[in-house]
């Protein structure tokens, strides 16, 4: 959903070691009436400092940068900020990058050759508090977990009962569908409920499971055994 043009614009920082890429993105973004670039970084370390200083709504982060890469920068930004959402921008549509970026706390994953309007849409989606994760990437993420004998993170160690003990059976159903990559509208159709009700269930899952966004719910659904690569 696009912000109203009279509201506060979405504040964005750009992190990419290629000045031409940053320039192109800045021109594109600043042409949009509801988004503004407030800072640029050429390294991961600079991005971390900028995020701490400016507290942007969204950081558009390249994965490969000299020194501290975009994945480590994302980890530091998301650990220190509860408000900045990171979308990873790369030329590498690779499983390992997807896995590492989402594990680091990124809320979206884009490739540089996608349509420019799609990049703007991604910024808006993330600024609204949602995550940009396509079903195809969801399936790849789950498959990546499946080949790792000990998935990273504390969620796995807490176990299904500890993780999901305080959610209702309906919320468990919703979490399963989120884990399969379904949108709120698709969840509503699957469970024969209204879209508003589906959205409310997802919102309660965010709160009960202390999840930052939909990406974390996908990870939790897998680690709790609710979804698997075959589903």
* pLDDT on residue 200: 94
Overall domain count for the chain:
2
Contact assessment for residue 217 and residue 172, using Cβ atoms and an 8 Å cutoff = no
What residue numbers bound the domain in which 204 lies? 151-223
Contact assessment for residue 132 and residue 107, using Cβ atoms and an 8 Å cutoff = yes
- Residue 5 is assigned to a structural domain of this protein: no
Q: Is this prediction's pTM over 0.85?
A: no
Instruction: Report the C-alpha gap between 135 and 141 in whole angstroms.
Output: 10
Asked whether residue 46 falls in the same domain as residue 155, the answer is: no
* pLDDT on residue 95: 60
Asked whether residue 31 falls in the same domain as residue 113, the answer is: yes
Phi–psi pair at 229, nearest 5 degrees: -60, -25
Asked whether residue 18 falls in the same domain as residue 124, the answer is: yes
* Residue 7, CA distances (Å) to 2, 119, 169 in order: 10, 20, 39
Asked whether residue 74 falls in the same domain as residue 186, the answer is: no
Alpha-carbon torsion (114, 46, 131, 38), positive or negative: negative
Q: Which of 166, 177, 180 is nearest to 209 (CA)?
A: 166
Contact assessment for residue 118 and residue 55, using Cβ atoms and an 8 Å cutoff = no
- The SS3 of residue 180 is coil
- Residue 4 is assigned to a structural domain of this protein: no
* pLDDT on residue 211: 82
- Residue 93 is assigned to a structural domain of this protein: yes
Asked whether residue 94 falls in the same domain as residue 156, the answer is: no
Asked whether residue 122 falls in the same domain as residue 158, the answer is: no
Asked whether residue 119 falls in the same domain as residue 16, the answer is: yes
Tens of each residue's pLDDT in the chain, 231 residues: 444 445 799 999 999 999 998 998 999 899 999 999 999 999 999 999 999 999 999 999 998 888 999 999 999 999 887 789 998 887 765 666 777 887 788 888 777 777 777 788 888 888 877 666 655 555 566 566 555 544 444 344 444 555 677 899 999 999 999 888 788 888 999 999 998 999 899 999 989 988 877 777 887 887 788 877 554
């Amino acid at each position: 959903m696009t912000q109203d043009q009279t509201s506060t614009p979405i504040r964005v920082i750009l992190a990419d070691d290629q000045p031409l890429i940053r320039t192109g993105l800045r021109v594109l973004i600043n042409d949009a009436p509801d988004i503004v670039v407030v800072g640029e970084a050429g390294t991961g370390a600079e991005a971390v400092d900028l995020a701490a200083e400016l507290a942007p709504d969204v950081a558009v982060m390249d994965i490969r940068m000299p020194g501290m890469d975009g994945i480590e920068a994302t980890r530091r930004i998301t650990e220190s900020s509860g408000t900045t959402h990171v979308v990873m921008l790369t030329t590498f549509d690779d499983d390992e990058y997807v896995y590492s970026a989402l594990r680091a706390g990124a809320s979206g994953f884009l490739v540089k050759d996608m349509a420019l309007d799609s990049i703007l849409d991604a910024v808006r989606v993330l600024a609204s508090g949602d995550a940009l994760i396509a079903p195809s990437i969801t399936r790849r993420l789950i498959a990546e977990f499946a080949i790792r004998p000990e998935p990273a993170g504390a969620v796995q160690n807490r176990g299904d009962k500890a993780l999901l003990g305080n959610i209702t059976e309906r919320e468990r159903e919703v979490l399963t569908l989120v884990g399969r990559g379904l949108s709120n509208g698709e969840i509503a159709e699957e469970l024969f409920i209204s879209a508003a009700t589906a959205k409310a269930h997802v919102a309660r899952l965010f709160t009960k499971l202390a999840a930052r966004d939909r990406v974390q719910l996908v990870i939790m659904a897998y680690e709790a055994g609710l979804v698997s690569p075959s589903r």
